[in-house]
């Protein structure tokens, strides 16, 4: 199993550009989530999904959209990038109700100029 | 007050030292507790779960005190490879932060 995969690993955007961060998992996990990690702030939840077709907002959802059309994929869309969105983004998945071990992807480092 | 708070660190210790990390949580409805490890520029990974009776995994011992809402992690005989950031994580149902609440982490640096 590949676990949780994320693409791209690195990205540089200009202010106002849009892009999609890809996330996929092959563990048939129902629960998937997106976090951002900034120095001194720890991990903050952006959006999460408890299954295909169901998404909800986390702590810092503004400026981001998600969708969950399949169990495997959970893309994160930046609608109009801002320098404040410069961060490291982690996607994670877990099997709902079977412990709460989160499996994280390797992360996407995003720089918005 | 943050829901999960950890020692600010960094902890700089020599090889072979014993080091302890502390963590407190504010929501008494918290149900499960974990320590995650995050290496520099990598993703967090589960180190161990924390049980009420305390649990040990090799050189690592985790303790939970529900009455005081306190979690600890003890690392004995520190190795260079233990250098990382250790995240205290609490599970409780519901809320905009999601079910898993992460502390900001404590950085450990083990020196030769």
| Chain B contacts to A (CB-CB under 8 A) | 32, 34, 42-46, 49, 87, 91, 96-100, 102-105
Comparing CB atoms, the residue among B49, B98, B103 nearest residue A42 is B103
- Whether pLDDT at A100 is above 70: no
Residue A101's pLDDT band (boundaries 50, 70, 90)?
confident
Is B31 or B110 the better-scoring residue by pLDDT?
A: B110
Rg, Å, chain A Cα set: 13
Is B45 or B54 the better-scoring residue by pLDDT?
A: B45
pLDDT in tens, A25-55: 999 998 899 999 998 888 999 999 989 999 9
pLDDT in tens, A49-75: 989 999 999 889 999 999 999 999 999
What is the rounded distance in angstroms from the CA atom of residue B48 to the CA atom of residue A16?
41
Residue B71's pLDDT band (boundaries 50, 70, 90)?
very high
Kindly list the residues from chain B whose CB atom is less than 8 angstroms away from the CB atom of residue A41. Answer: 104
CB contact under 8 A, A100 and B45: no
């Amino acid at each position: 199993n590949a676990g949780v995969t994320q693409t791209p690993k690195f990205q540089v955007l200009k202010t106002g550009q849009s892009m999609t961060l890809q996330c996929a998992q092959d563990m048939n996990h129902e629960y998937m989530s997106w976090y951002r990690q900034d120095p001194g702030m720890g991990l903050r939840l952006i959006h999460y999904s408890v299954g295909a077709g169901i998404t909800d907002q986390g702590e810092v959802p503004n400026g981001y959209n998600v969708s969950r059309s399949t169990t495997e994929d959970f893309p994160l869309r930046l609608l109009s990038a801002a320098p404040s969105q410069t961060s490291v983004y982690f996607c994670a998945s877990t099997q709902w109700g079977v412990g709460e071990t989160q499996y994280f992807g390797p992360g996407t480092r995003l720089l918005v100029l | 007050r943050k829901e999960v708070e950890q020692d600010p660190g960094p902890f700089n210790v020599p090889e072979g030292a014993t080091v302890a990390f502390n963590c407190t949580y504010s929501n008494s409805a918290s149900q499960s507790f974990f320590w995650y490890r995050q290496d520099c520029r990598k993703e967090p990974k589960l180190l161990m779960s924390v049980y009420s009776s305390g649990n040990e995994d090799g050189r690592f011992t985790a303790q939970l005190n529900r009455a005081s809402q306190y979690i600890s992690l003890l690392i004995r005989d520190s190795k260079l490879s233990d250098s990382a950031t250790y995240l205290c994580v609490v599970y409780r149902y519901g809320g905009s932060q999601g079910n898993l609440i992460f502390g900001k982490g404590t950085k450990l640096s083990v020196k030769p």
